[in-house]
Chains A and B, each alone.
Chain A
């Protein structure tokens, strides 16, 4: 971005001057009043760690399966204070991949939210996927680069979550494959906000000179069953071994987010806060 600006300097100089003076007005607080929050991700399947290919798990419906691929985007992180106010972490887009492919070898399981105003935070929320606007913005870099193969190039938009594997119960007779690719931000809108509760009485203490870490756990089993009988769409691998976006995938989205609405945060989702380390 910076490089492109330099290239076009002669033409946009005046505009650029205006923009840069705008930026100064909304400058970050002085360094002493901000800190970081590190997120450590752990993927699990129920009570077991996620091991690709080699481990066989049992779905809530009692069907065996293995996992060969598990990727997802987390974005638009927000931290809530006890007084009800919140801080939205700008440009927070992260891609977690159990086994990275493409030019970027980072599995994304360890990332840092920085320049957070110092204070005590009593809640955290984020989006599973990439917000509508960024699906329609131009060429992207880093976690959002299409080089990561998490971007549909035909009906364009990001893949929010991707799980593939195998099951002897799969309705696909040849390979016994399972493939669930979540996307779509128009109709249906398969984005969901989740707000996993902090451990009882816990808070996140962001301070200059401290480095708090939040240990976030993602349970893959939650793709196949929701948080309650009322919110569960039971997945059977025979009839439902593959879905790529659209309305077909909505039952899985509602299961893992614990929410049926783009704008209602799921508090009982596939994500749980396992621990907070306020070092």
Chain B
């Protein structure tokens, strides 16, 4: 690589030629990398990454080590729960059919496991934004007694006691014990690789392969733009804000964002989730109370409940609470939401437990 760049510096007499050749090389390198490590390129229709490639440059061995860690139940206290237990590839790395997460000792968590994808673009993680950096995210489920229930020292002792892990970590990071830094850096390479950007919707907006959407699906896009995009914004379909979407009149058991911010104004506010792969990630909401997307749309149409922090977007002036949606509109939205399913993502063998 260094040699190739030097050659192009020598060979390129014109500045313009220089720029072109280095751009071309970058593109070539990126393409080569994409074949090795998934999710290492910027989709044309996505905003800028929050967790830039340069922060933890994708590398095949590290990505694969991260994948092994992701699917290793020994990371939990009693070796029964891995990250992959609650984040299943076929469900776009959400937990299919579980309203609340299940941890060690079959303990029930307090929230619905969120789908893991496009984490590179997330500024804050968790339903309440408790985590501000992807690399430190795994510390939460590792140590939560309702999730993996493990201590950091015990977890690291298990990894350091495994000759194969020692060999793989040493090959990447050099001599020395496996510490939390190396563990988190490796695991976040896998998490960051979970890019989902090849749904039918994506291909249509990028004009790839002659993909077109039906009339109903296209009407659904227009409806999202006019009625949903104040929260489900950009092609990531979230503005990453925290909002009270009218599920309850009070939030005594789980106050959401207020648990982090300490602000009464944040009571009942939860992260706006992406709509990508939403047809795969039932049940819905932070507590998994809705089983189907039809129920979700019905909630917005006529189920919104008033409370002091209810989002202004759901209290139209002079109107009833919620977002009025005709039956036809709900059908069109459902049709559109299906186009956000990314089959290539959920079938990418590089992301699977047994590639």
Chain A residues at the B interface, C-beta cutoff of 8 Å: 3-5, 7-15, 102-103, 135-141, 145-147, 149, 151, 153-156, 184, 186-188, 246-247
Contacts and interface: CB of A to CB of B under 8 A. Distances in A.
Contacts of B62: 7
Given A10-B29, A156-B139, 19 more contacts: A4-B56, A4-B173, A5-B57, A7-B59, A8-B57, A9-B57, A11-B40, A11-B53, A13-B1, A137-B133, A138-B135, A138-B136, A141-B179, A147-B179, A149-B152, A151-B139, A186-B261, A187-B263, A247-B262
Nearest to A142: B181
Interface stretch (B71-79, B112-120, B140-148, B330-338): B140-148
B65 to A, nearest CB: 11
Contacts, number: 114
Contacts of B133: 136-138
Contact of B188 (A15, A139, A140, A147): A139
Nearest to A15: B54
B152 A146 contact: yes
A7 B136 contact: no
Query: What range describes how many residues of B lie at the interface?
Result: 35 or more
Nearest to A16: B54
B131 A145 contact: no
A55 B55 CA distance: 48
B185 to A, nearest CB: 5
Contact of B139 (A3, A12, A153): A153
Contacts of A153: 136, 139-140, 142-144
Contacts of A8: 54, 56-59
Given A7-B172, A10-B29, A146 B1 contact: no
Contacts of B188: 138-139
A149 B131 CA distance: 17
Interface in B125-164: 128, 130-136, 139-140, 142-144, 152-153, 156
Interface in B148-204: 152-153, 156, 172-174, 177, 179-181, 184-185, 188
A145 B29 contact: no
B327 interface: no
B131 A156 contact: yes
Interface of B: 1-2, 5, 22, 26, 29-30, 33, 40, 53-59, 61-62, 128, 130-136, 139-140, 142-144, 152-153, 156, 172-174, 177, 179-181, 184-185, 188, 259-263
Given A154-B144, A186-B262, A246-B262, A138 B179 contact: no
6 contacts: A4-B56, A7-B62, A7-B172, A11-B33, A141-B181, A145-B180
A149 B144 CA distance: 14
A11 B29 contact: yes
A7 B64 CA distance: 13
Contacts of B59: 7-8, 11
Contacts of B152: 146-147, 149
A179 to B, nearest CB: 18
Nearest to B187: A139
Q: Which 8 A-B pairs have the closest CB atoms?
A: A8-B57, A138-B135, A136-B132, A139-B184, A153-B139, A139-B135, A153-B143, A141-B181
A184 B260 CA distance: 9
A140 B153 contact: no
B262 to A, nearest CB: 5
Nearest to A135: B132
